[in-house]
Amino acid sequence: MKDKKLNIFISILYFIGVLALFLVITCTPVDAATLKNSTDNYLVNYKMSSYNELFSYWSSTDANGSGGSIADSGFNLKPNVLPNSITINSDNDRFHWPIKLFKQRGNSYFDYLYLNSYNIRPYISNSDNPNLSNWCNPSINANGCTFDIGFSVIWDFSIPNDTPNFDLSLQQSISYILNNYNKARFSYYYYTDNQNNIDSISVPLNTKVIQSYQVEEEGTTYYTLNVYYTQKLYNFAGFSTGKTRPAGDNDFYYNNGGFYFETSEYDSYTTYLLFHDNDLYWNTSLEFNDFYYAYSNSSNGGSNSDITGEDSSKDEILRQQEETNRKLEDIYAKINDTSPPDTSGLGGSAGWLPAGPVDSIINLPLTFFQGLNNAMATSCSPVNVPLPFVNQNVQLPCVNTLFNQINGFNTWWNAMGLIAAAFILYKYLIHLYQWVDNTLTFRENNWQDWGGI
């Protein structure tokens, strides 16, 4: 019997240990700050599907596709309900909001239009209170705004007074979406010219921006950005890249099914854009399977061939070391985490059972003890007892009121009670000590025990 109890105890400990290990492994987030500050090789897997199409809008334009007419005609917004809570971060003066508009020009094709986020204000509302508007003001909510689950994020566009004829010339939108759960960050950069076309370097007319990625890294000299894609890309004629700063060549090439970009030392904070040059397949959906940032600390700043061979092996070792260091830092941070455990999940456990007969039967002992405890805690009240045959009630006063009428008796009575209580408590505590000792040493099956005095 003792072995059986020991086995149960060990099983519980084993279960808790496995559960804790599982949680530690699965709860390690992808930290955007680590990504940003990393100067060595570092590989982060971005699930693009988590960030694409968070919200999309449909807007109508005039036949010329003029930006001014867009502002005048207003927007037919179709806000989507966010799938989960997100926090949109602000970064001092670079406070930008993700916005993507589909602009129709005639019936031929669509284009993407991206507006300056300084003119965009988001607010939240819900179905219970449609009039609720909680503006997320960039100047007030310096740390970003959090939108809760189920809330609709509606984007309002306010056109500055000094630009009544809204000019799309060189409008820029930089969007930082910081996911509240995994902290992964994805950034956009978009430019348009006064023809409502994407005005990036060396981009042909009618070229659509598929995605663009910004690499921010200080102190490093060489970056590689790999974009792996799915088979859905086959509809597109091709891709090219552009760099917003400095204006230069489109360093772009395929390798092993991915797109590669390179920057040099002075290319920090360079934005890389992906374009495709074919409008015939505008309605083809584009999906990136995975999106990888691969950083290299190689200082040669050379071409693609520089990341092969020996350097590649060394980089791989450095990357693994960096990853190991990062995991150790995570473990160290968890060990030194003194914050109390979150037990809010235990709330509401009293309502697990639906109200009904079963609920009443199961809770009957608790009802009994609750009544008994209340009776012992409350003061006495006189009792009315009906007398038979005379059909009248007689009131029995509380005994302690009678005691109070006898001079000194109440004090003496309480003193006697104090002595009796001391003996009772002494006996009970001795019993409790033996009970705890027997329980901890597995000498008794005490879960069936009740009282003992």
Chain residues binding other proteins by CB under 8 A are: 8, 11-12, 15, 23, 26-27, 29, 181, 342, 344-346, 349, 352-354, 356-361, 364, 367-369, 371-383, 396, 398-400, 413-414, 416-418, 420-421, 424-425, 428, 432, 435, 446-447, 449-451, 453
Question: 261 to each of 43, 184, 258, 308, 333, how far by Cα in Å?
Answer: 15, 21, 10, 15, 34
Residues 112 and 103: beta-carbon distance below 8 Å: yes
Residue type for 436, please? V
The tokens describing 265, both together, are 């030392």
Q: Of 30 and 210, which has the nearer Cβ to other proteins?
A: 30
CA 98, chain centre distance (Å): 17
Give me the least distance between CB of 55 and other proteins, in Å please: 23
Angstrom distance (rounded) from CA 431 to CA 64: 92
Give me the least distance between CB of 37 and other proteins, in Å please: 23
Q: Of 13 and 247, which has the nearer Cβ to other proteins?
A: 13
Give me the least distance between CB of 416 and other proteins, in Å please: 6
Give me the least distance between CB of 152 and other proteins, in Å please: 22
CA 376, chain centre distance (Å): 49
C-alpha closest to that of 292 among 48, 91, 93? 48
Angstrom distance (rounded) from CA 395 to CA 382: 6
Q: Of 232 and 431, which has the nearer Cβ to other proteins?
A: 431
Angstrom distance (rounded) from CA 252 to CA 261: 5
Give me the least distance between CB of 320 and other proteins, in Å please: 25
Give me the least distance between CB of 403 and other proteins, in Å please: 9
Residue type for 283, please? N
Q: Of 309 and 341, which has the nearer Cβ to other proteins?
A: 341
Q: Of 140 and 375, which has the nearer Cβ to other proteins?
A: 375
Helix residue spans in 356-408 (DSSP H):
357-362, 364-377, 399-405
**∠23-26-32 over CA atoms, to 5°?**
125
Q: Of 63 and 366, which has the nearer Cβ to other proteins?
A: 366
Give me the least distance between CB of 361 and other proteins, in Å please: 7
3-state secondary structure of 292: strand
Residues 97 and 122: beta-carbon distance below 8 Å: yes
Angstrom distance (rounded) from CA 254 to CA 229: 12
Q: Of 389 and 447, which has the nearer Cβ to other proteins?
A: 447
Under 8 Å CB-to-CB from 20, ≥6 apart: which residues? none
Under 8 Å CB-to-CB from 106, ≥6 apart: which residues? 63, 65
Give me the least distance between CB of 443 and other proteins, in Å please: 15
Angstrom distance (rounded) from CA 149 to CA 147: 7
Give me the least distance between CB of 412 and other proteins, in Å please: 10
Give me the least distance between CB of 430 and other proteins, in Å please: 12
Q: Of 21 and 280, which has the nearer Cβ to other proteins?
A: 21
For tokens 């456990």, the residue is 349
Q: Of 237 and 420, which has the nearer Cβ to other proteins?
A: 420
Q: Of 5 and 78, which has the nearer Cβ to other proteins?
A: 5
Say which DSSP state 283 is in: T
